[in-house]
Structure 1
Amino acid sequence: MKITGIEAIPFAIPYRKPLRFASGEVHAAEHVLVRVHTDDGVVGVAEAPPRPFTYGETQAGVAAVIEKIFAPQLVGLSLLERETMAARLARTVGNPAAKAAIDMAVWDALGRTLDVQVTELLGGYTDRMRVSHMLGFDEPAAMVAEAERMRAGHGITTFKVKVGRRPVALDTAVVRALRDGLGDDVELYVDGNRGWTAAESAVAMKEMADLGLLFAEELCPADDVLGRRWLVSQLDVPFIADESAVTPADVTREVLAGSATAVSVKTARTGFTRSQRVHHLAEGLGLEVVMGNQIDGQLGSVCTVAFGAAYRLTSRRAGELSNFLDMSDDLLTEPLDIRDGELAIRPGAGLGVDIDPAKLEHYRQDA
């Protein structure tokens, strides 16, 4: 079970339409496929989705740091030496998606070696999660139409609405249109990606007070310390810390400061090992937890549902598991299928997925 090599393969798959939100805009999934090889001939896989406008990583940077820095430090270690791996990766500052992908590929390789599903290794609470679909910036009618398609085609009844534009009325009108168009039997919550000020956020939330929102996420910047604390203190819905609370220490800081009352766990930036620590901390603090999405492809979504389904707390709420539907293609041999508003873990050892070699050859960027 020793690691003999780690590959980082950049690939790019266009989105069906540009995805727009307050912190950036993307036209293609320019991700990195990570493969961890062992001396038993097992290969574990995971996906690193760089987000330069949030964490500063680029596709080229992820591939370079894995191949030049991380791989030499980890080759020779056993798949079970995760604490040693984490300590060595921690020597290098930042690079959350690169570190997370290596960690998840190691877990996948371990599951394949032991012939056990990753979800079972993590906790094994259930085998599926309800799905939340993200709605990016658009006109109200277009966003309502997209939500209706998702409900009709996939049974999805929870929607995360991207907000954070100016004037605030642009977004409050969208959320109201969604509530009016979809009715009261759907769950709606908003994510500002730090686009509003604390004052703008307070105005917006008052305007939407009658819409039955589930959560509010990262409406204003965390470094507006007093403003955010003031905002959270007056909200009557949980305030989710996302990019402001990546590590357990971040979560502790934001919650104890009164700047958050819930947390988003994204395996794409904390892998399985660090996500466990965030989960356990949230459980101990009594926080709501949402499984978030870093605009992952199907492989990243498999990782999210594998972790989210493993625990009671993370499986209570709908997870953000559908962004792969915005991609024009993917790398898996068997595409994911959201049915009746749920996504199930894949059968088989590890993550239960295989990469289609022809598709990888077609989309890879280093050939």
Structure 2
Amino acid sequence: MKIVRVEAIPFGIPYAKPLKFASGEVHTADHVLVRVHTDDGLTGTAEAPPRPYTYGETQESVVAVIDRIFAPQILGLSPLEREQVHARLERTVGNPAAKAAVDMALWDLLGQSAGLPVNGLLGGYTDRMRVSHMVGFAPAEQMVAEAERIRDTYGITTFKVKVGRRPYGDDVAACRALRAALGPEAELYIDGNRGWTASDSARALREMADLGLTFAEELCPADDVLGRRWLVSQSPVPFIADESATRAGEVTRELLGGSATAISIKTARTGFTASQRVLHECEGLGVEVVMGNQIDGQIGTLCSVAFGAAHRSSAGHAGELSNFLDMTDDLLAEPLTITDGTLRVREGAGLGIEIDPDKLARYRQDR
């Protein structure tokens, strides 16, 4: 089985409601569908969601690096030669979402060729995950209304609250309103997307000390090295490194340097191969992990739940698996469904991704 063709297809699907946060806002899912074809007729599929305000990638750059650099380097290789594929991809600096999509498409091919689900090949711990929903910037009453709707409709009781506005009083008020409306049984954690200073963060955490927050994530920039270490050393809740820990070396730096005490794993930026390395590193150090969300569509969400449910440590916390609910449509022939606050892994060989050709024709942006 040899790789004979790699496709990078740009597509765009509007969001019904944009997600707003400290580092930007998203109105349209300008993503890239990645397909890797083999000489025996199999096709591995994944999705690359570019995030220029976080990693510098754009839809155009993802298509270009796959078409012009990655594809020529991996044609003729077998999907089994993942280490050789990664060695060639790593010759190019950065481009995490593009690399991750190629990696996940290869895993999809391996599952299909073996007649086994990728979730099982990765570990097969369980077939579902509890779901966490991200709540973006809005007036407090609107954030509460969204959380209540998501809880009542989908049974989700874990919420990641976007904070990082300056001054921070609106964020504290929103978190208090959410706790009051959702009650003590709801799980809340906050994500600042680097929007606060270390001193802002410390004051805000003190003001929210009675809210029972599960985690705090990326409240201030990783480049504020001393300030962040100072903040984490006094944080009353575990501090998650997310965009500051995009590969195993950065995870080591953040944890051993005292800048984080937990890690967010996003298959959209580390695929399955590098995500396992990060996961095993965290397991060896006794550090908790959460499955994060890069504002993925349903294809990316399907990849996240396949990985997260495959391992005991990544299935321990609710995964961020619901933001596709804010999109007006998607490319999957059979849409994902969240029931009783959980999302199931797709059955069947590979990742179980089947693209609706009519939807792809409608939303692709290269024709």
TM-score range, shorter chain: over 0.9
Partner residue of 1:240? Answer: 240
Partner residue of 1:78? Answer: 78
Q: Does the residue aligned with 2:40 lie in a helix, a strand or coil?
A: coil
Partner residue of 1:317? Answer: 317
Give the Å deviation of 1:17: 1.5
Structure 2 residue 173 is the aligned partner of structure 1 residue 170: no
Map 1:179-194 to 2 at 5 A. Answer: 179-194=179-194
Q: Does the residue aligned with 1:80 lie in a helix, a strand or coil?
A: coil
Structure 2 residue 92 is the aligned partner of structure 1 residue 92: yes
Partner residue of 1:229? Answer: 229
Partner residue of 2:299? Answer: 299
Distance 1:356 1:328 in 2: 15
Partner residue of 2:4? Answer: 4
Give the Å deviation of 1:2: 1.0
Distance 2:169 2:25 in 1: 21
Output the amino acid matched with 2:5: G
Aligned pairs, number = 367
Output the amino acid matched with 1:356: D
Distance 1:285 1:295 in 2: 28
String of CA shifts for 1:64-104, please: whole Å, max 9, x gaps.
10011000000100111000000000000000000000000
Partner residue of 1:257? Answer: 257
String of CA shifts for 1:189-217, please: whole Å, max 9, x gaps.
00000000000000000000000000000
Give the Å deviation of 1:222: 0.7
Output the amino acid matched with 1:334: E
Distance 1:119 1:166 in 2: 41
Partner residue of 1:106? Answer: 106
Task: With the length of structure 2 as denominator, give the TM-score of the two structures.
Answer: 1.00
Output the amino acid matched with 1:106: L
Partner residue of 1:133? Answer: 133
Give the Å deviation of 1:226: 0.5
Distance 2:124 2:255 in 1: 28
Distance 1:221 1:63 in 2: 29
String of CA shifts for 1:124-147, please: whole Å, max 9, x gaps.
100000000000000111111100
Distance 1:152 1:349 in 2: 33
Partner residue of 1:271? Answer: 271
Partner residue of 1:339? Answer: 339
Q: Does the residue aligned with 2:314 lie in a helix, a strand or coil?
A: helix
Output the amino acid matched with 1:189: Y
Distance 2:114 2:364 in 1: 30
Q: Identity of counterpart residues, as a percentage?
A: 72
Partner residue of 2:17? Answer: 17
Distance 1:18 1:47 in 2: 20
Distance 1:178 1:363 in 2: 36
Output the amino acid matched with 1:325: L
Give the Å deviation of 1:242: 0.2
Distance 2:267 2:95 in 1: 14
Partner residue of 1:153? Answer: 153
Output the amino acid matched with 1:111: G
Distance 2:312 2:357 in 1: 36
Structure 2 residue 195 is the aligned partner of structure 1 residue 195: yes
Distance 1:321 1:161 in 2: 14
Structure 2 residue 366 is the aligned partner of structure 1 residue 363: no
String of CA shifts for 1:291-345, please: whole Å, max 9, x gaps.
0000000000000000000000000000000010010000000000000000000
String of CA shifts for 1:176-198, please: whole Å, max 9, x gaps.
00000110010000000000000
- Give 4+ residue runs of structure 1 displaced > 2 Å after superposition: none
Give the Å deviation of 1:18: 1.6
Give the Å deviation of 1:269: 0.2
Distance 1:164 1:262 in 2: 19
User: CA RMSD for the aligned pairs?
Assistant: 0.5
Output the amino acid matched with 2:66: I
Distance 1:213 1:19 in 2: 22
Give the Å deviation of 1:270: 0.3
Output the amino acid matched with 1:320: E
Distance 1:116 1:211 in 2: 44
Output the amino acid matched with 2:356: D
Give the Å deviation of 1:236: 1.8
Distance 2:54 2:65 in 1: 18
Distance 1:328 1:187 in 2: 27
Q: Does the residue aligned with 1:315 lie in a helix, a strand or coil?
A: coil
Partner residue of 2:55? Answer: 55
5+ long unaligned stretches in structure 1? none
Q: Does the residue aligned with 2:10 lie in a helix, a strand or coil?
A: strand
Output the amino acid matched with 1:292: G
Distance 2:142 2:314 in 1: 31
Q: Does the residue aligned with 2:46 lie in a helix, a strand or coil?
A: strand
Output the amino acid matched with 2:338: I
Give the Å deviation of 1:235: 1.0
5+ long unaligned stretches in structure 2? none
